[in-house]
Amino acid sequence: MALGKLPVLALQQRRQGLAKLLPPAEETLRGSLVERYVSCGNPDCRCARGQRHGPIWYLTVTLGAGRTAGWVVPPEQVDQVRRWIENYRRVKDDLEKISDINHELLRRSRPKKKAKK
Ligand SMILES: [Zn+2]
């Protein structure tokens, strides 16, 4: 529903709900998890016949200006990394929603010229 149609109280409640459910900021991570299958180069290995090794998980992070960094994530950390990336996305989305609500509340609290006279 468009924010402009909700009463102030509903906006405040929605804002409160979003803030309460915000994922913990210390458990956030920007980047993407990618899965790769690799060959080791040994011509006698099974990977030389198409059965590549893996999955090997990488975290890739954009550093801006087209630069990216990446490194291997150990299997036992993959779940946590996945969760923290999801938290990062949610924190960003929810902050955006809270900000939209605050924009709307600010707009409404602006003094109206007509009413004053
Ligand atoms: Zn191999």
How many folded domains does the chain comprise? 1
In 3D space, the residue among 59, 64, 72 whose CA is nearest the CA of residue 30 turns out to be 59
Q: How many Å lie between the centroid of ligand 1 and the Cα of residue 50?
A: 9
Q: Residue 59: CB partners within 8 Å, gap ≥ 6?
A: 29, 31, 32, 33, 70, 71, 73, 81
Write out the chain's pLDDT in tens, 117 residues. Answer: 689 999 999 999 999 999 999 999 999 999 999 999 999 999 999 999 999 999 999 999 999 888 999 999 999 999 999 999 999 999 999 999 999 999 999 999 877 776 555
In a domain, 13, yes or no: no
CA of 71 to the centre of ligand 1 (A): 20
Ligand 1 centroid to residue 43 C-alpha, Å? 8
Domain containing 105 equals 29-109
Evaluate whether residue 115 is within a structural domain.
Answer: no
pLDDT at 109: 87
Task: Report cis status (omega within 30 of 0) of the bond before 55.
Answer: yes
Give the C-alpha separation, 59 to 35, whole Å.
9
Q: Is residue 9 part of a domain?
A: no
Prediction pTM value: 0.79
∠ Cα 40 41 42 (to 5°) = 95
What pLDDT, on the 0 to 100 scale, is given for residue 75?
Answer: 94
